[in-house]
Amino acid sequence: MSTDTLKKYLSPDHTTRVQTVNLTESWQTGLAHQNYPPVVQSLLGELAAAAVLLAGNIKFNGAIVLQLQGNGPVHLIVVECTSGMGVRATAHLREHAQIAPDDTLQDLLNADGKGKFTVMLDPSDKQAGMPAYQGIVPLEGTTVAQVLESYMRNSEQLDTRLWLGADAQHCSGLLLQRLPDEGGRVDDTLTESCWVRFIHLADTLKDDELLTLDSNTLIHRLFWQEDLLAFDPQHIRWQCSCTRERVSRMLRTLGQTEINSIVAQQGQIEVSCNFCGKPYLFDSVDCARLLIETPELSPEHNPTLH
């Protein structure tokens, strides 16, 4: 079983939610077929950690999708995490994009000031034709954490703080959230002391600690004086919906003439998932077999043909 986990805690007075996430195996799986500049990779990892932290609190079977979109060198960064803790993530760069190592989120995505941040909640059991819920706001903030904190505060009326980090090996995050009472309101007189104390403690967290410490060590280091209520951990896995079968269905839609033409020119057909980048190779024998089989379903994934 994957060691990648989401861990959830509650303050002793039940007014503050504390969550940590560490992704190593699933993150490396997701990057295996991707080749992003380090600064884009870090943004993608931070958004992945944030999506897992938020997905841990959804009350339905389905998925949460976080999307950064703009007219900079990076066109789109999108992460999906299901209620079952399956995560996938991708970024799309503009052709010939010039990206500097010290570029910020605003440099990369919001060159014209019209960038958008979208949160989508997509229940798996919604009625046919019913659209997923979308919250769309301007892309405000120089970090993924600031973008999400602004969204949660202004759109969801929830005081939320996030500490996020990512590199080529890990992506991690810490979330603090001030909880409303049973009536849906935050009682400032009841929660202020705990909230301020927890924020003060979490602000001592260093970037390298976030990426190198396991959740138990991190929580103990920050909140060792607090009698936190701990919940069972949730295990996380990389989960892209691409499969060889779906790619096969897509290829059959090209027809025999087109398939034979590609094989004659290239000797094989290579198809890459446009979400995770995983390659699928079909040699002449594979292609001949495709043309014999006639499945009923059309592809639900949208691969890229090479």
The string over 155-177, giving b where at least 16 C-beta atoms fall within 10 Å of a residue's C-beta and e elsewhere, is eeebbbbbbbbbeeebbbbbbbb
Model pTM?
0.85
What is the rounded average pLDDT of the residues 244-252?
A: 86
Structural contact between residues 172 and 211, judged by C-beta atoms closer than 8 angstroms: yes
pLDDT tens per residue, range 172-227: 999 999 998 655 555 555 557 889 999 999 999 998 999 999 999 999 999 999 99
Boundaries of every domain in the chain: 5-238, 244-305
Give the tens place of pLDDT for each residue, 7-50. Answer: 999 999 999 999 999 999 999 999 988 889 999 999 999 999 99
Dihedral sign for Cα 89, 33, 19, 164, please: negative
* 87-111: pLDDT as tens digits: 999 999 998 889 999 999 999 999 8
* Domain 5-238: homologous superfamily in CATH: Hsp33 domain (3.55.30.10)
The residue-averaged pLDDT of 68-94 equals: 94
Which of 111-120, 137-146, 231-240, 290-299 shows the lowest per-residue confidence on average (mean pLDDT)?
290-299
Q: How far apart are CA 212 and CA 43, in angstroms?
A: 18
What's residue 182's pLDDT? 59
**Taking the CA of residue 180 as centre, how many other CA atoms within 13 Å lie in the half-sphere pointing to its CB?**
8
pLDDT score, position 299: 42
- From CA 303, how far away is CA 252, in angstroms rounded? 13
The token pair that represents 47 in the structure block: 């958004």
CATH class of the 244-305 domain in this structure:
alpha beta
Q: Which SS3 state, helix, strand or coil, does residue 203 take?
A: coil
Domains 5-238 and 244-305 share a fold: no
